[in-house]
A and B are shown apart, each in its own frame.
Chain A
Amino acid sequence: MHNCYSLGIDVGSVSTNLLLADNNNKIVEKLYLRTSGRPIEVLTKGLSILKDKMGSKDKIIAVGATGSGRQLAGVLVGADVVKNEITAHAVAASHLVPGVRTILEIGGQDSKIILLKNGVACDFAMNTVCAAGTGSFLDRQAARLDIPIEEFGGYALRANSPVRIAGRCAVFAESDMIHKQQTGHSTENIIAGLCEALVRNYMNNLAKGKEIVEPVLFQGGVAANIGIVKAFEKILGVKIIIPQYYDVMGAYGAAILAKEKVEATGDTSFAGFSIVNKDFTARSIDCTGCPNMCEVIQIISNGKTVAHWGDKCGKWGAVKSEVG
């Protein structure tokens, strides 16, 4: 017997997630890999892991790509749908928790709030310009305190009186935190303070003026941090639901959208697993065709250029993601 799967890919700044969903949109396999600034390498590695896990007769019937590296991933795998992560997250959340009204999402480099009505996004906000209030803020402070990020939340829960730390910016937070350390506050109280600072920052930057209606979902890698979850519950005064697949929601949304698309068009454009054996390199060239000096990205496979993007005039043939 063979199974048909839709493949969802989310190439984010910190993690690259891949998953296989079956015909009923049930997740049968998921991978959470660190991108480490090498999206192509990680993506092909992820694909080969998935390939090994699939039965020899199993088939991929649809592929969706999302995340900030969606364009790159879309070209490499021949995605049926290339979708922005905000829409992908909203789709995934309303599949898992029908009737969800608010999604809090904190990833590595960005954080979002999405408000939904009748299963579709009706308002959203995403952090602008700086990465305060995101996972990398926590990563940085955890490194500074020499505590593995996985244990961060546990420390926060053991705090008896969280200290106040300026959360506006990671640099401010760091000097504030050091000063509090020097005056003798416990690590637990400082970490709890950091969690609250991050949530305060999130609320100020993204949720200002927005009505938070239950059910409230919290997803993205940072949802694993129990300290942040508690800080959200304390500040918002609502129950926070962590969906089962909180860390791969973008990929899940992409898989669902791809499946819907293929059901409409009839066929997938998936390039096949053979791409894991191909050698892909990306390089950027400064186009000298006109004074715009666009940074054009070239994807090269076995000496042949397979895709281009980044040009303003379209002469290199840009690839676009979909809207609608």
Chain B
Amino acid sequence: MLITIPHMGNVYLAAKALFDGIDVPYVIPEPNNKDSLRKGSLYSPEEMCLPFKLMMGNYMQSIEKGADTILITGSCGPCRYGEYCELQIKTLSRLGHDLDFIVLDAPGEIGIDEFLRRIGKIFKASNKSRAEKLLSIKRAFNVIDLIDKLESKAHFLAGYEINKGDCKRILHQCKKDAFSCDNPAQMLKVIKEYLKKINIIPIDKTKNPIKLSIIGEIYTVIEPYSNLNIEDKLMDYGVSTKRLLTPSWWYRDMVLKPLKLNSMGLRRASKEYLPLYIGGHGRECIGEAVLSHKEGMDGAIQIFPLGCMPEIVSKAILPSIQRDKDFPIMSLIVDEMTGEAGYMTRIEAFLDMLNHKKKHKISV
């Protein structure tokens, strides 16, 4: 067995830690790049949303390196993501690839026995003891928690840093160093060191930077290639950003869902505008917009792939929030285009507008 995973933000680090820990051979695909986009869109339905295409690109790149097993998460709908695995399995088998797909749907949806059976496939390939396997799982979760924490610190502190570029440099160096570790304990140590580093970078607390929330469809907000590295760009502009949706948020939400204890704050916040789940993370997007305003952010940017049904619904609701709360929100739609000019125009104009609003205290 040679296992692989598709990319989504920092997930590859946790996956690497897990596979290294249980000593199962794996391939981490190259970070999303134009080659993955090209290969992915070649084998995807034309009107499919961008995450599907990039994931297909990841598979193709891993298959070239001999991968025969693909580990992905499912969602049992109700947005296109729920159909991703079925369609991907069919497409890849039509292309003549004999692959084993391990789809991790929520235990609440498929039953705990089925869930364990699917996970078991991976662990059967490992010769490690039960205790070591459990420890590796724990470490993988630690990795994703810590790297997400570092990332969110870097994104927020970027607005306050005294030496321009500190936050971005630490974040990227950490990812690079963590990825070069072949031992999960070592990887954790590296990330912890960088957490210490980011905690002591010189900051100017009297600065009053623009503070933005990144909201919208989960894959395109998390995976930097899909949103043309918006968070890096905002760091360059000295903007503080916050993003709730991360892989570590996602797994907690999954675990708490059967108990209905997940996203309590978001559900309360979204109640006035969208009191029910409409698929994807549409409701979360609305809740985040309301919460961001409460937390004193200056505005929000919603990102979603062309054709994303739940986010189209939220996009239609966001102007009401903007009007009611005097809270500017801009929507950006991403697809296969990699030309940045128009994208940057919107971001820069939005930042200009927020700057003016802040300076002159005008309402939108």
Contact = CB atoms under 8 A, between A and B. Distances in A.
B349 A87 contact: yes
B269 to A, nearest CB: 21
B172 interface: yes
A101 B319 CA distance: 18
A128 interface: yes
Contacts, number: 93
Interface in A84-114: 84-87, 109-110
Interface stretch (A18-26, A119-127, A185-193): A119-127
Contacts of A310: 340
Given A121-B356, A293-B35, A129 B335 contact: yes
A324 B353 contact: no
A129 B306 contact: yes
A86 B355 contact: no
A291 to B, nearest CB: 4
A126 B237 CA distance: 21
Interface in A276-321: 291-293, 295, 310, 312-314, 320-321
Contacts of B229: 312
Given A129-B306, A293-B33, A122 B348 contact: no
A324 B355 contact: yes
Nearest to A114: B349
A123 B328 contact: yes
A323 B237 contact: yes
Given A129-B333, A293-B33, A313-B172, A324 B351 contact: yes
The binding surface of chain A is classed by DSSP as loop
Interface string B332-355: 110101101110111011111101
A118 interface: yes
Given A291-B30, A292-B33, A313-B172, A120 B356 contact: yes
A69 interface: yes
A84 B352 contact: yes
A208 B312 CA distance: 14
A312 B364 CA distance: 33
A117 interface: yes
Interface in B207-255: 229, 232, 236-237
A323 B34 contact: no
B356 A86 contact: no
B94 interface: no
B346 A323 contact: no
B124 interface: no
A209 interface: yes
A68 interface: yes
Nearest to B336: A129
Contacts of A84: 344-346, 348-349, 352
Main secondary structure of the interface of B (DSSP, over half): helix
B237 A117 contact: no
Given A68-B341, A129-B335, A324-B355, A122 B349 contact: no
A290 B165 CA distance: 20
Contact of B353 (A71, A110, A124): A124
A317 B165 CA distance: 13
Interface string B1-43: 0000000000000000000000000000011011100000000
Given A84-B349, A293-B33, A323-B352, A118 B362 contact: yes
Contact of B352 (A68, A123, A208, A324): A324
A19 B342 CA distance: 23
Interface in A12-71: 68-69, 71
A123 B360 contact: no
A128 B333 contact: yes
Contacts of A124: 349-350, 353
A117 B362 contact: yes
Query: Which one of A84, A126, A208, A314 has the greatest number of beta carbons of chain B within 10 Å?
Result: A84
Nearest to B33: A293
A195 to B, nearest CB: 24
A175 to B, nearest CB: 18
Interface string A182-225: 00000000000000000000000000111000000000000000
A297 to B, nearest CB: 11
Contacts of B344: 84, 321
B357 interface: yes
B37 to A, nearest CB: 10
A293 B32 CA distance: 9
B129 interface: no
Contacts of A324: 351-352, 355
A295 B34 CA distance: 9
B345 A123 contact: no
B353 A121 contact: yes
A84 B332 CA distance: 16
A73 B260 CA distance: 55
A128 B332 contact: yes
B206 interface: no
Contacts of B34: 293, 295
A71 B345 CA distance: 11
A83 B328 CA distance: 21
7 contacts: A71-B341, A121-B349, A121-B356, A122-B363, A123-B322, A291-B30, A323-B351
Interface of B: 30-31, 33-35, 165, 172, 229, 232, 236-237, 306, 319-320, 322, 328, 331-333, 335, 337-338, 340-342, 344-346, 348-353, 355-357, 360, 362-364
The 9 residue pairs across chains A and B that have the minimum distance between CB atoms: A86-B349, A68-B341, A84-B348, A291-B30, A209-B319, A293-B33, A323-B351, A120-B356, A84-B345
